[in-house]
Chains A and B, each alone.
Chain A
């Protein structure tokens, strides 16, 4: 991910032979305007100057915080400002050095520099923290322990229990998908009051997971007075304690999450159904296919790309599941409902263990990147096979 930035920066400073005609678009072609050598030099001086300034300030503050020198700032805030100024300098430099092409680079540059500062740098920093023994509540500062955190992780039964729970939550996505597909088909049928149903179906997606935790988890499913518990008693379940036993708790948490996210899947799948050409469906009808055959032989295969997108996005969000678990069960009973995120949250909250918590998170990130890459590959192959 970082090469984008590094090589671009190098190219812009003329350190690397810029072999590419930069941003000559196949779509919009504009004759490259001529940039005078003086202007180009000015641009390079600007970029270099501010780069050196940023590095100098960073070094100064680093020496200051480590106690080597007394000159420095109270905190790192000025370095952030320096980074902001440096970003402006890079942008200006691009325009000065490359003219028109530089102006086009300005479209992507702000977002790239922002992502670099807020996502890439903290992620790399997380990798560093993961190698530290760092307990915020202890008087000892951080110290380097290499891969010990990861070794400890393999002994941590609670963490692997949370991982196993994630497998359950991920498999449940398929059930959510089936329900969502059914609802999308219903909304796509010729019905009255379509707008009313669409709005109602959408609303759970708009609600805050924390509010939902209370509305459903702690109120509706409260075992004495909650309407859901009353209904369960009516139906013959005498002790409707939704969150007391491992499997019921897990299923209840899954139900809450499904309630919030099925609307999202319905919308995506509905969009797919509406984009489908009517002629294909007509042709199937002319050929004498019954609705069941039409669905499995025509609609489902044609919906494959949309289904894959829907499932992938849903899985990505499912992998982040935490707020409902934190607020309803805190992972209980006995870790039965823990997700990886909620478990790490408690590692930090209860034990202030920054180094270990981050190591768990980094391992989780690597796991899900591998998982998603495998899923992406498999889904591509599968879509190709189904659609011949």
Chain B
């Protein structure tokens, strides 16, 4: 990872009074800043490190608090073997692995489906609200925007039980499409929020030029504006992915076997007493790995996505 800082100055920028005193104060300041930064980085990273390493530890390594692989203890594939994902078991037949892969694919399917649907519905609505003046009865653009974003307030508990009843009647309980619908709802406000800001930052003259060239409003949107708004789309997509991949509440209530997502599987394991630490650690590692990778490589999109809307 390359540092992207371009403003880092080796010397104090505020050296208005050069001298030993200012120099010392600058060094103390630097030590404090880096100390605090490193402390928080440790706070953020240690639990992840602990989980990943624990998946390679035998019981005795856990109870004795060994921390550093190879120095403290000999890492073994013990946790991954219990999932059927270690080198010696990966080629064989494994029930735990089949179960895990099933849950993993359910999660992938549901979170991707919901994020894409939310992106489709949300970006269209955001574009409309950013470009045209609507008037539905007493509601103008800002009211409609508020209508969409206010859905964020709805706590899952309000919807969970009605959905349980309604989905039962609709035969949607424990189905992928049912989960996609409800997850789309939970992220749609965020997509509208991010995308409207994105569209607002694109000059209106581009639309007008496209219209003059004979494109319809939809043509201008799909062929001219949407490609420019791609960074915003990526940001909204990743944000949706994070929230839907990690969602637990609805999944716990509305799925049983066919559409059970990874968080539900992890939770059901933690519930049972006397579970092996190493297999639990391996399962947690596998559950968080996709998003950790996304986070490391697409960090700037996530930050961009979260930042738009907050700063006007």
Contacts and interface: CB of A to CB of B under 8 A. Distances in A.
Interface of A: 1, 3-8, 11, 20, 22-28, 30, 65, 74-77, 79-80, 100, 103-108, 110-112, 114-115, 118-119, 122-123, 125-126, 129, 182-183, 186-187, 189-216, 218-220, 224-225, 227, 230, 259, 263-264, 267-268, 270-272, 275, 285, 305-306, 309-310, 313, 316, 319-320, 322-323, 326-327, 340-341, 344-345, 348, 354, 357-358, 360-362, 364-365, 368-369, 372
A123 B159 contact: yes
B162 A123 contact: yes
B171 A264 contact: no
Label chain A's interface by main secondary structure.
Answer: helix
A372 B153 contact: yes
Interface stretch (B68-76, B85-93, B95-103, B118-126): B118-126
Contacts of B264: 210
A271 to B, nearest CB: 3
B223 to A, nearest CB: 15
Contacts of B1: 195-196, 199
Interface in B290-312: 291-292, 294-296, 299, 302-303, 306-307, 309-312
Contacts of B131: 25, 27-28
Contacts of B184: 114, 118
Given A111-B122, A219-B51, A341 B249 contact: yes
B201 interface: no
A202 B295 contact: yes
B142 interface: no
B185 interface: yes
B41 A111 contact: no
Contact of A111 (B159, B192, B281): B192
B7 A267 contact: no
B44 A27 contact: no
Contact of B277 (A118, A125, A219): A219
Given A190-B9, A218-B270, 19 more contacts: A27-B132, A28-B131, A75-B171, A103-B216, A103-B217, A106-B218, A107-B127, A108-B128, A118-B184, A122-B162, A122-B163, A195-B3, A203-B45, A206-B242, A216-B47, A285-B14, A309-B309, A365-B155, A372-B153
Contacts of A320: 155-156, 249
Contact of A272 (B40, B50, B311): B311
A341 B160 CA distance: 10
Contacts, number: 360
A186 to B, nearest CB: 5
Interface string B1-26: 11111011100011000000000000
B104 interface: no
B291 A206 contact: yes
B105 interface: no
B121 A111 contact: yes
11 contacts: A114-B121, A119-B151, A189-B33, A194-B3, A194-B4, A196-B1, A200-B44, A207-B292, A326-B252, A326-B267, A340-B155
Interface in B135-167: 135-139, 143-144, 147-148, 150-166
Nearest to A29: B208
B7 A22 contact: no
A107 B128 contact: yes
A319 B152 CA distance: 11
Contact of B302 (A24, A202, A275, A345): A202
A354 B185 contact: no
Given A103-B217, A272-B310, A191 B288 contact: no
Contact of A28 (B9, B13, B208, B306): B208
A203 B157 CA distance: 27
B170 interface: yes
A202 B40 CA distance: 11
A205 to B, nearest CB: 7
A369 B201 CA distance: 31
Contact of B8 (A20, A191, A212): A191
A290 B256 CA distance: 60
A107 B132 contact: yes
A148 B296 CA distance: 52
Interface string B237-248: 000001001101
Given A118-B185, A215-B50, A108 B124 contact: yes
B2 to A, nearest CB: 7
Contacts of B14: 285
A266 B259 CA distance: 34
B171 A208 contact: no
B125 A206 contact: no
B166 A341 contact: no
Nearest to B139: A4
Contacts of A207: 48, 246, 288, 291-292
Contacts of B128: 104-105, 107-108
A180 B185 CA distance: 29
B147 A4 contact: yes
B287 interface: yes
A333 to B, nearest CB: 17
B114 to A, nearest CB: 11
B204 interface: yes
A172 B92 CA distance: 50
Given A194-B5, A203-B295, A365-B154, A208 B307 contact: no
Contact of B246 (A28, A105, A119, A208): A208
Among A190, A208, A213, A306, chain B packs the most CB atoms within 10 A around the CB of: A208
